[in-house]
Amino acid sequence: MEKKTGVYICEGCGLGSALDLEALGAVATDEYSVPVCKQHPFLCSKEGTDMVKQDMEAEGVNAAVIAACSPRVMTDVFDFGADKIVERVNLREQVVWSHPANDEDTQMMAEDQLRMTLVKVREMEPPVPFEGENYSKRILVVGGGLAGMTAAKEAAGADYEVVLVEKSDQLGGYLKTLYKMPPSSPPYEELKSFDLDEMVEKVSSLPNVTVYTGAEIEKIAGSPCMFDVHIRQNGGQAQERVGAVVLATGSFPYDAAKLEKLGFGKSPDVVTAPQLEAMFKEGRVVKPSNEQPVGSVAFILCAGSRDPEHLRYCSAACCVESLKQAKYFKEANPETPVYVFYKDIRAHGNYELFYKQLQKDGVAFVRGNVTSVDDDGSGGLVVSAEDVLTGAPVSSENVDLVVLATGMVPSTAQGKPFQMQEPQEGQEVEDVPTDTIYVSNNLNLDYRQGPEMPALKYGFPDSHFICFPYESRRTGIYPAGTVRAPMDYSRCADDATGAALKAIQAVEMTSKGGAVHPRAGDLSYPEFFMQRCTQCKRCTVECPFGAINEDEKANPLPNPTRCRRCGVCMGACPERIISFKNYSVSMIGNMIKNINVPDEYDEKPRILILACENDAYPALDMAGIRRLEYNPWVRVVPVRCLGSMNLVWIADSLSSGIDGILLLGCKHGDDYQCHFIKGSELANIRLSKVMETLNRLALESDRVRLEQISITDYNRLPELLDSFSARLEELGPNPYKGF
């Protein structure tokens, strides 16, 4: 587009008294020939923004550089419409609030930040929203249990059409085997009956819900708003186009056959909680060994859960489920001896009142680690345990029935692991992270990256557990209920409601051409200059969200509505042919090259910070808000994700004479905080390669450092920057300086 740039400098919030704004304006007009450059006492006021709007209307300004506060604030105030380019220069939080006023170095920093923004704007274009074909806003729910039925009901209640697919012949899932529910209303002391038929009827009779029972998903191809779902039912086929998917395929009980120590398989009188539930449901509760009534019962909690040899995690619902089953016995006969062996009773919230009621009912709670369950020689069982606190032996003898509260294994952890990446000739696969995907036959995605959802280490579908708990690594597909995490009935229903809302958000945002999350509403998307593609597959392998398929010749086939706009593909591409209208390798490269680097190191060393927009950049803002002073040699370039870092930027920096490069990204690893899951980890892998090269060239690799920063780390930034600066001082000037 033909661009006319206007620079608008704010004098408010202390900027006018800390900086020489005339000199700053001269950088724009004299160095970059910007035709319009104005100051205003409060640019965010109505008069300030009216001044910009008037220039846009009368002068034809269509690219506004706002030199004021952080781009993280006043986003609505400085929004002049999708056809206008607006870039912000963060003079407030990251210059005058974090550096001394009227200081030469502070002024130089402000001028460099303006230079960088001006060259970026030169290359930027307003994003044109992606438009697909035959968009659908219908929502597919896979699984017809509590979570699935709830998601379908909620989405339908919000006026969205729903397609509900259930493998078995009837809706209901685990509820079909359930006798009663734990209490869900005050005084939380009595069990709750429920009417499954009524629930099923309510969902099935909704006019905007199409139910397929006895049906399986054969294939899901496409992307948000354009998913084509192939359904197999009773030997027939059906096809539906949907916009988003809720995965509600639930969980399975942990395999009790692996719990021999607890007597399962050794004695028929050791059963699992689901087996006991079935007995109550059928109205026939007897000792399996002799069909006699059960005179006493012992529950063993955490059977396989919170155990390094089995499931390391807490299965969340089994404590309350066991309390519920203990209540079954006490309701039938208050005199029945009932023992509960537990490590901790995790009866959260109002379930605490239910737990107290069972204590009053006379249930014996024994806090012990069960060491064995054996035949007591008289037709009963003896449960032996070690007291959790003292280690003293404790036991219950003459027990008729032992019930194991087996943990939950998500349905996504069924099946064989999928081999995501075939090693290619000459390809260094060890540096490409692979994902664990089990071929569980839930979704059968037609994705190059595998047919199901990538899983966390315990098999639950990956999601950003801190900031975006409903999201998965497949855009537009939202796991809900016990497939996502262990949970009880009430949380399962809440979870399904949340997932239905996320699915609605996905179809609404996608149909407008915007990103769903975390860059919600971003209209840009990666574009590929295919003529120069070498079919190296880096982009398809490294995209954390499976957004890029490929054809038989390994040409990337992007699916823009699956894309999260992280830029990881842009960082990965060795040919540098992937770019966004408003974010590209060349834009950042030119920003780096426009930093004014003094020839004399002793005078003014320079440090480039590539700061992830999600945590590191806000942490720098926070440091400014708290008026923490930090190193004046730094120049900050925000990046969408550290994973979008292209290694050419390191070369650009070093050849520009910059003395050190600091990459600030999110925590990676098991407890990752990266908003794009793998971005900071990928940056780290790429960096390790560049380090080797630097060392080979006798260019100290210590000049480049990656640090993991969360937003709450703002107070350690000044020291971190100073220590990096001190190390650079030891290394001396960048040998390329002055060339």
Is the Cβ of residue 568 or residue 611 nearer to ligand SF4 in the bound state?
A: 568
In whole angstroms, the minimum distance from the beta carbon of 584 to ligand SF4 comes to 12
Is the Cβ of residue 290 or residue 534 nearer to ligand SF4 in the bound state?
A: 534
Give the span between the Cα atoms of 124 and 63, in whole angstroms: 9
Q: For residue 546, give the nearest of 638, 420, 401, 670 by alpha carbon.
A: 420
**Can residue 569 be called a binding residue for ligand SF4 (CB under 6 A)?**
yes
CB 317 within 8 A of CB 487: yes
**Can residue 706 be called a binding residue for ligand SF4 (CB under 6 A)?**
no
**Can residue 259 be called a binding residue for ligand SF4 (CB under 6 A)?**
no
Q: Given the rule CB under 6 A, which of 139-147, 231-239, 423-431, 536-544 is the region that contacts ligand SF4?
A: 536-544
Q: How much of the chain is in helix, strand and coil states, percent to nearest 5?
A: 35, 20, 45
Q: Which of 120, 327, 473, 565 binds ligand SF4 (CB under 6 A)?
A: 565
Q: Which of 572, 619, 642, 694 binds ligand SF4 (CB under 6 A)?
A: 572
Q: Which of 69, 347, 568, 709 binds ligand SF4 (CB under 6 A)?
A: 568
Q: Which of 203, 358, 577, 662 binds ligand SF4 (CB under 6 A)?
A: 577
Is the Cβ of residue 563 or residue 663 nearer to ligand SF4 in the bound state?
A: 563
Is the Cβ of residue 202 or residue 576 nearer to ligand SF4 in the bound state?
A: 576
The angle subtended at Cα 505 by Cα 504 and Cα 509, nearest 5°, is: 120
Is the Cβ of residue 144 or residue 556 nearer to ligand SF4 in the bound state?
A: 556
The angle subtended at Cα 370 by Cα 366 and Cα 372, nearest 5°, is: 135
Is the Cβ of residue 163 or residue 568 nearer to ligand SF4 in the bound state?
A: 568
Q: For residue 661, give the nearest of 713, 731, 579, 599 by alpha carbon.
A: 731
**Can residue 541 be called a binding residue for ligand SF4 (CB under 6 A)?**
no
In whole angstroms, the minimum distance from the beta carbon of 535 to ligand SF4 comes to 5
**Can residue 575 be called a binding residue for ligand SF4 (CB under 6 A)?**
yes
Number of residues that bind ligand SF4 (CB under 6 A): 27
**Can residue 526 be called a binding residue for ligand SF4 (CB under 6 A)?**
yes
Is the Cβ of residue 578 or residue 591 nearer to ligand SF4 in the bound state?
A: 578
The radius of gyration of the chain's CA atoms, rounded to the nearest angstrom, is 31
Cβ-based neighbours of 11, under 8 Å, separated by 6 or more: 21, 39, 40, 41, 42
CB 607 within 8 A of CB 681: no
Query: 608 phi and psi, to 5 degrees?
Result: -90, 130
In whole angstroms, the minimum distance from the beta carbon of 610 to ligand SF4 comes to 17
Cβ-based neighbours of 347, under 8 Å, separated by 6 or more: 319, 320, 323, 354, 355
In whole angstroms, the minimum distance from the beta carbon of 230 to ligand SF4 comes to 25
CB 435 within 8 A of CB 441: no
**Can residue 564 be called a binding residue for ligand SF4 (CB under 6 A)?**
yes
Q: Which of 212, 328, 365, 545 binds ligand SF4 (CB under 6 A)?
A: 545
In whole angstroms, the minimum distance from the beta carbon of 431 to ligand SF4 comes to 14
Dihedral (Cα; 31, 36, 40, 44), 10-degree rounding? -100
CB 615 within 8 A of CB 708: no
Q: Given the rule CB under 6 A, which of 85-93, 497-505, 529-537, 628-636 is the region that contacts ligand SF4?
A: 529-537
CB 150 within 8 A of CB 493: yes
Q: Given the rule CB under 6 A, which of 21-29, 201-209, 216-224, 570-578 is the region that contacts ligand SF4?
A: 570-578
Is the Cβ of residue 132 or residue 415 nearer to ligand SF4 in the bound state?
A: 132
**Can residue 645 be called a binding residue for ligand SF4 (CB under 6 A)?**
no
**Can residue 172 be called a binding residue for ligand SF4 (CB under 6 A)?**
no
**Can residue 354 be called a binding residue for ligand SF4 (CB under 6 A)?**
no
**Can residue 539 be called a binding residue for ligand SF4 (CB under 6 A)?**
yes
Cβ-based neighbours of 307, under 8 Å, separated by 6 or more: none
Q: Which of 573, 597, 619, 728 binds ligand SF4 (CB under 6 A)?
A: 573
In whole angstroms, the minimum distance from the beta carbon of 650 to ligand SF4 comes to 18
CB 406 within 8 A of CB 311: no
Q: Given the rule CB under 6 A, which of 112-120, 167-175, 457-465, 558-566 is the region that contacts ligand SF4?
A: 558-566
β partners of residue 89: 67
Q: Given the rule CB under 6 A, which of 32-40, 421-429, 457-465, 534-542 is the region that contacts ligand SF4?
A: 534-542
Structure tokens at 529: 């200059």
Give the span between the Cα atoms of 319 and 326, in whole angstroms: 11
**Can residue 588 be called a binding residue for ligand SF4 (CB under 6 A)?**
no
**Can residue 144 be called a binding residue for ligand SF4 (CB under 6 A)?**
no
Question: Tokens 């509590």 map to which residue?
Answer: 146
**Can residue 534 be called a binding residue for ligand SF4 (CB under 6 A)?**
yes
Give me the long-range contacts of 555-559 (CB less than 8 A, separation at least 24).
555/530, 556/528, 558/525, 558/526, 558/528, 559/222, 559/223
Is the Cβ of residue 514 or residue 657 nearer to ligand SF4 in the bound state?
A: 514
Q: For residue 647, give the nearest of 605, 685, 613, 593 by alpha carbon.
A: 685
Give the span between the Cα atoms of 352 and 374, in whole angstroms: 32
Buried b / exposed e along 100-118 (16+ C-beta atoms within 10 A): eeeeeebbbbbbbbbbbbb
Q: For residue 88, give the nearest of 114, 125, 107 by alpha carbon.
A: 114
**Can residue 424 be called a binding residue for ligand SF4 (CB under 6 A)?**
no
Is the Cβ of residue 539 or residue 721 nearer to ligand SF4 in the bound state?
A: 539
**Can residue 319 be called a binding residue for ligand SF4 (CB under 6 A)?**
no
Q: Which of 221, 439, 536, 720 binds ligand SF4 (CB under 6 A)?
A: 536
Coil, helix or strand for 143? Answer: coil
Q: Which of 548, 587, 619, 704 binds ligand SF4 (CB under 6 A)?
A: 548
Is the Cβ of residue 481 or residue 558 nearer to ligand SF4 in the bound state?
A: 558
Structure tokens at 71: 């781009």
Chain positions contacting ligand SF4, by CB under 6 A: 526, 528, 533-539, 543, 545, 547-548, 556, 558, 563-569, 572-573, 575, 577-578
